[in-house]
Amino acid sequence: MNEKAKEKFLEIRDLFRRMSHEVCVVVESYYIWRTLTFARSIPEVGQEQAEKNAKLMALYKDFFIPTEQSHLQVFIIGLMKFFDKHPQALSIAALIKIIQENKGIFTADVLQLVYPDLAAIDAIKDDYSPITQDVVDHVEQLWEKHKGLIDSLKDVRDKQFAHTDTKTIKGTFVPNEVEALIEAVQEMFNKLSGCFDLSFTIWDHLKEDSVRSTQFMLENLERGEVLQMAEIKKKWG
> Lowest-pLDDT range, 61-75, 90-104, 146-160, 194-208?
146-160
The domain in which residue 155 lies consists of 2-236
Q: Own/partner pairs for 101-104, CB < 8 Å, 24+ apart? A: 102/5, 102/8, 102/9, 102/12, 102/130, 103/129, 103/130, 103/131
How buried is residue 26: exposed, middle or buried, by Cβ count under 10 Å (0-12/13-18/19+)?
A: buried
CB atoms within 10 A of CB 57: 19
Q: How many domains does the chain have?
A: 1
pTM, two decimals, is 0.90
Q: Give the integer Cα–Cα distance in Å for 11 and 114.
A: 12
Q: 182-201: per-residue pLDDT in tens?
A: 999 999 999 999 999 999 99
CB atoms within 10 A of CB 132: 12
| C-alpha dist (Å) from residue 27 to 22, 162, 183, 188, 202 | 9, 20, 9, 15, 11
> What was the pLDDT predicted at 56?
93
Q: What is the separation of C-alpha 17 from the centre of its chain, rounded to a whole number of angstroms?
A: 13
> What was the pLDDT predicted at 7?
95
DSSP state letter for 130 = S
What percent of the chain stands above pLDDT 90?
77
Give Cβ neighbours of residue 44 (< 8 Å, ≥ 6 apart). 38, 50
> What was the pLDDT predicted at 171?
56
Is residue 110 a contact partner of residue 196, using CB atoms and an 8 Å limit?
A: no
> What was the pLDDT predicted at 226?
79
Q: Give the integer Cα–Cα distance in Å for 201 and 190.
A: 7
Reply yes or no on whether the pLDDT at 13 is more than 80.
Answer: yes
DSSP state letter for 161 = I
Is residue 207 a contact partner of residue 27, using CB atoms and an 8 Å limit?
A: yes
